[in-house]
Amino acid sequence: MNHLVATVVAGGGTFRSCTPPSPTSRAWKTEEDPDVAPPKLKFVPRRTPGIQAPLKTGTHTPLDIFSRFFDAEVWRLLCSNTNKSAARHQERGRKYHWTDVTPEELKKFIGLLLYMGVMNLPKMTDFWRKQTIFEVPFPATVMTRDRFKSILSFFHISDPEEDGQNDLARGTEKYDVLHRVQPLLDMLRTRCMAVYHPRQHISVDERMVATKARLSFKQYMRDKPTKWGLTFFVLADKNGYTVDYQLYTGKKSQSSVNGLSFDVVSSLVNKDYLGSGYIVYCDNFYTSPLLFRHLGQQGFGACGTYRQGRIGVPTTTENALTKRSPRGSIRWLRDGDLLFVKWMDTREVSMCTNVHSVYAGETVLRWRKKADGTYERVPIPRPTAVGEYNRYMGGVDTSDQLLGTNTVHRKTRRWYITVFQHMLDIAVTNSFIIYKEMSTIRGERPPTRQDFQELLTSQLLGVPLKTKPKVPTSNHLPVPTSSGQSKRQKASMGRRQCVLCRRCTPWQCEVCKVGLCLQVDRNCFRMYHTLPESEQ
């Protein structure tokens, strides 16, 4: 392996010239080199980045943007499979009242999920509590509690009949562990890539979605805030837009000889979709000389921290950094088209890049103790790759932060519901990023993440955002507890328990929504409305 080697030593941010080493030298040495100059921008995306047609022109509401992710095809899929799931449970002997869900009703169901993400009460049933100071009156005006729980109970993404066939193949190569969520994963992934095209700097990292369901591909990561959950490998833009993703299902029977990290990045950074000219940033789990050379051949730049033990990484220690190296010391070594840079900050930082130069004159302020015991901030040189990595690597972290704001995620034993909740969060967050960019282009003040979700919720539910729910507070009148039954069924069906005498009654208060008797010898309706509130 032939290396062109050099080093920059921080002496107040200046460079010192010395005799160039031989091209075959493998030591990290001090030398002024043409590669220290700012790089030429040879990486330019060939495709137009940003919002794509038809959202690129005109004025669009949050619902218009969200409908590009959850479009008519997605609504039909969810409604059809949810209705099939309910029918299948009925065939098995479960007795319950079910009416097929429609796309319009499912939109209200999703709207209530977003509403709950903003309000964030401990339990879903708390949104339908009555006769308490913690009562939230609005959800009951959209959908009854029992109807909401029924839709949630039978909610299904895949075809239940195909689920049974897939379960029979468990333990064989034909078994698909992601069968229950694969239709929605594919649909949302395609729409994320179609609606928005990333800009030049993109990042790859993993994301944990919390769950403790019993799953063969559930992961444990000690250093993550969410230690137990599903692992998503994510490709994100700098602004936090989720461009592409993969749900990790564990070690495959026929894994690639190049390793998991190589396979993840090479599949997410797809030349057929992106084109070329992008710069990919990743951490030391993914960085390897093999991967970076592969990306370079595909027309992509690459930059990331690296681990010293990786195959292909220079192993020489001659003139390398030590613990006693002064802060700001820079060592660099070039191996073909790859540049390996070491920089001493609080600790040693190791970077690999195929697009950046060693040093372009950038400095960073750090505290230094003076002789009299006081501290001062002094500038020290910083390699170009370190500054660019800090500037553009946080795309996935930004996305995680936005996803965690007013999330719809709630604990559940059904792992596919957890995946659906995460897909819904991705669609809402990506819609927010697009809406925010549109507002900036129009010169308007962009909304916050919560403001956007509140506006989207009101549009999904079909109610105005700025007005209070129309809940009457007077004219308490008795009304039947149900309607639509035949004359034979009226005496037995739809009755409720009276809140005072605990007997069955076909009457309720139109405002209070509680069962109350209205008989010649038992007028609980009048008694209830004349009692003090503390005794009701």
Both 416 and 384 in one domain: the answer is: no
Average pLDDT over residues 79-97: 87
- Domain membership of residue 400 (yes or no) is no
Both 451 and 482 in one domain: the answer is: no
Among candidate residues 392, 419, 442, the one where a domain is terminated: 392
Both 150 and 91 in one domain: the answer is: yes
What pLDDT does 197 receive?
A: 94
Whole-angstrom distance, CA of residue 398 vs CA of residue 432: 13
- Domain membership of residue 185 (yes or no) is no
Among candidate residues 392, 424, 449, the one where a domain is terminated: 392
Q: Confidence class of residue 341 from pLDDT cuts 50, 70 and 90?
A: very high
Both 359 and 298 in one domain: the answer is: yes
Q: Which of 294-298, 323-327, 484-488 has the lowest mean pLDDT?
A: 484-488
pLDDT in tens, 447-458: 999 999 999 999
- Domain membership of residue 420 (yes or no) is yes
- Domain membership of residue 205 (yes or no) is no
Percent of all residues in the chain with a pLDDT value above 70, rounded to a whole number = 87
What pLDDT does 458 receive?
A: 95
Q: Which domain holds residue 514?
A: 472-536
- Domain membership of residue 467 (yes or no) is no
CA terminus-to-terminus distance, the chain: 87
What pLDDT does 490 receive?
A: 63
Both 95 and 15 in one domain: the answer is: no
Whole-angstrom distance, CA of residue 328 vs CA of residue 344: 5
Both 346 and 306 in one domain: the answer is: yes
Both 341 and 447 in one domain: the answer is: no
Among candidate residues 431, 461, 491, the one where a domain is terminated: 461
Both 296 and 342 in one domain: the answer is: yes
Whole-angstrom distance, CA of residue 479 vs CA of residue 489: 17
Both 368 and 415 in one domain: the answer is: no
Q: Find out whether 199 and 50 touch, Cβ atoms under 8 Å.
A: yes
- Domain membership of residue 321 (yes or no) is yes
- Domain membership of residue 478 (yes or no) is yes
Q: What is the largest CA-CA distance in the chain?
A: 111
Q: Is the pTM of this model over 0.85?
A: no
Q: Confidence class of residue 512 from pLDDT cuts 50, 70 and 90?
A: confident
Total of domains in the chain? 3
- Domain membership of residue 267 (yes or no) is no
In sequence order, what E strands does 336-395 have? Answer: 338-344, 348-353, 363-369, 375-381
